Amino acid sequence: MYVSALTMMRRWVVGGLMLCATQSALAEQPIAAMHNIPTVTRLVQQFMGLEYALIAAVPNDNEVGALLADDFEMRLGIMPNNPIPRVQWLANMREQSASNARITQMAVHDYANVAVVSFVIQRNPAMKSAMDMAVVDVWQKTGDTWKLAVRYASPVSLSVPQSDKHY
């Protein structure tokens, strides 16, 4: 099919104008609005599900047993030399009722059969006395099953320290 040079030129001009209109519309949007949509990766989605399943399973020995390694322990930033063994951690979790906890700021680093998962957990967002915790969980994969091997946790500071470094 033969297309005249004038028709081709019109198509290019119309296409160029449409591109300019699109670019100017994007430029008018505030920068903050363009960066507020978090991207949830497949791994974050998977481990977010595992973390919430762990919270929900705490009251049930069989369910929580399927998610925790036999030698699970937790280490706190304020006393790193004193690990909290699995039995004591479960007793503490059952006392605290974390059923309405909220997990935010999750990142997952996958190393084949080990995943390092970091996040902030708000135990009870409605209670002002409940302190947010920064958590790093190390999950081990055996076959198709992930089990939590160790948890590191430390209170989140309410003030942000100033740094002279600019990255």
The predicted model gives 68-75 an average pLDDT of 96
pLDDT digits (tens, 9 = 90+) for 136-161: 999 999 999 999 999 999 999 766 66
Average pLDDT value for residue range 102-123 = 94
Mean pLDDT of 19-26: 48
CATH number of this structure's domain 42-155, picked from the four choices 3.10.450.50, 3.30.70.260, 3.30.420.40, 3.40.50.720: 3.10.450.50
Using a pLDDT cut of 90, give the percent of the chain over it. 50
C-alpha–C-alpha distance, residues 103 and 120, integer Å:
6
1 or 46: which leads in pLDDT: 46
What pLDDT was estimated at residue 22? 45
Domain boundaries, the chain: 8-34, 42-155
Predicted pLDDT at 159? 61
Assign 6 a pLDDT band (cuts: 50, 70, 90). low
